[in-house]
């Protein structure tokens, strides 16, 4: 079975731009969660999607949004990028929810200049 | 407010010895705990978990201990191997938030 695939692996953007990250979950997994990892902060939960609906949300500003498609693939969008948005963005999929074991992709490294 | 804390940013251990990674939490409603391991340029991978109804769970060289009264869990790796060198995250689930809360991670270096 293919693992969780995140594209692109690396991105460089400038302040004020917007960016879209993509995540393809493991086949059969219906829950997709997104996390932001920065040095010293661990993994901060962004949101979780299940069956195309946002089921849970972390404490991030509205500039961070996401969606899930009928095939469970998910996208995350960040608008009006700030320098502090530079981070590793990780996507994780699981069968039914975040309490289940989550399988992570390798992440997208976003650098905002 | 960091509900899950890993107070040791790094740990160095000799090959063959025991590695003990510690994690503290503040929310007594957490009822499920997990450990993930992360190598550079890879996503975290699940290692072991424990439910709050247990105080110990073992899987090969890895054992997780849970002390609910102290709100503390630890991961023991015996014997430690150089391939265990990675960042280890503990995570907790439960309560009203229904989210998985991660600690900040501990970098384990196993010296040959």
What does the DSSP assignment read for A87-104? EEEEEEEESS-TTSPPEE
pLDDT at A5: 96
Confidence of residue B46 (pLDDT cuts 50, 70, 90): very high
Q: How far is B18 from chain A (nearest CA, A)?
A: 24
Q: Does B43 touch chain A (CB under 8 A)?
A: yes
Contacts of residue A71, defined as CB under 8 A and 6 or more positions apart, other chains included, come to none
Q: What is the pLDDT of residues A61-107, one digit of tens each?
A: 999 999 999 999 999 999 999 999 999 999 999 987 656 788 999 99
Q: Who contacts B91 (Cβ-Cβ below 8 Å, separation ≥6)?
A: A43, B4, B33, B34, B35, B36, B100, B101, B102, B103
| CB proximity B93 to A under 8 Å | yes
Residue B27 near residue B92, CB atoms below 8 Å: yes
Report the pLDDT averaged over residues B40-56: 94
Q: Is the pLDDT of residue B96 over 90?
A: no
Residues from chain B that touch A44, judged by Cβ atoms under 8 A, are 102
CA dihedral angle for residue A79, residue A56, residue A37, residue B67, rounded to 10 degrees: 160
| Closest residue of chain A to B5, computed from CA coordinates | A42
d(CA B14, CA A108): 33
Q: Look up residue A43 and give its two tokens.
A: 């993994």
What pLDDT is recorded for position A99?
A: 66
Interface residue of B6, B43, B88, B102 to substitute, partner A, most A CBs within 10 Å: B43
Q: In degrees, to the nearest 5, what angle opens at C-alpha A29 toward C-alphas A25 and A30? A: 100
In this prediction, residues B8-14 reach a mean pLDDT of: 96
Phi/psi of residue A95, nearest 5 degrees: -60, -55
- Chain A residue whose CA is closest to B9: A40
């Amino acid at each position: 079975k293919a693992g969780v695939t995140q594209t692109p692996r690396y991105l460089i953007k400038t302040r004020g731009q917007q960016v879209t990250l993509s995540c393809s979950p493991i086949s059969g997994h219906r829950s997709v969660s997104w996390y932001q990892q920065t040095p010293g902060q661990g993994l901060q939960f962004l949101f979780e999607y299940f069956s195309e609906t946002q089921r849970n949300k972390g404490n991030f500003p509205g500039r961070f949004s996401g969606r899930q498609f009928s095939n469970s693939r998910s996208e995350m969008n960040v608008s009006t990028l700030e320098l502090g948005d530079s981070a590793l963005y990780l996507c994780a999929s699981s069968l039914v929810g975040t309490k289940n074991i989550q399988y992570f992709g390798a992440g997208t490294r976003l650098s905002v200049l | 407010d960091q509900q899950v804390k890993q107070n040791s940013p790094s740990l160095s251990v000799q090959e063959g010895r025991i590695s003990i990674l510690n994690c503290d939490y503040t929310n007594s409603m957490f009822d499920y705990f997990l450990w993930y391991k992360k190598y550079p340029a890879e996503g975290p991978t699940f290692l072991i978990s424990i439910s709050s109804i247990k105080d110990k769970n073992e899987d090969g060289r890895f054992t997780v201990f849970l002390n609910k009264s102290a709100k503390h869990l630890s991961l023991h790796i015996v014997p430690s191997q150089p391939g265990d060198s990675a960042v280890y995250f503990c995570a907790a689930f439960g309560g009203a938030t229904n989210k998985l809360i991660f600690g900040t991670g501990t970098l384990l270096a196993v010296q040959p």
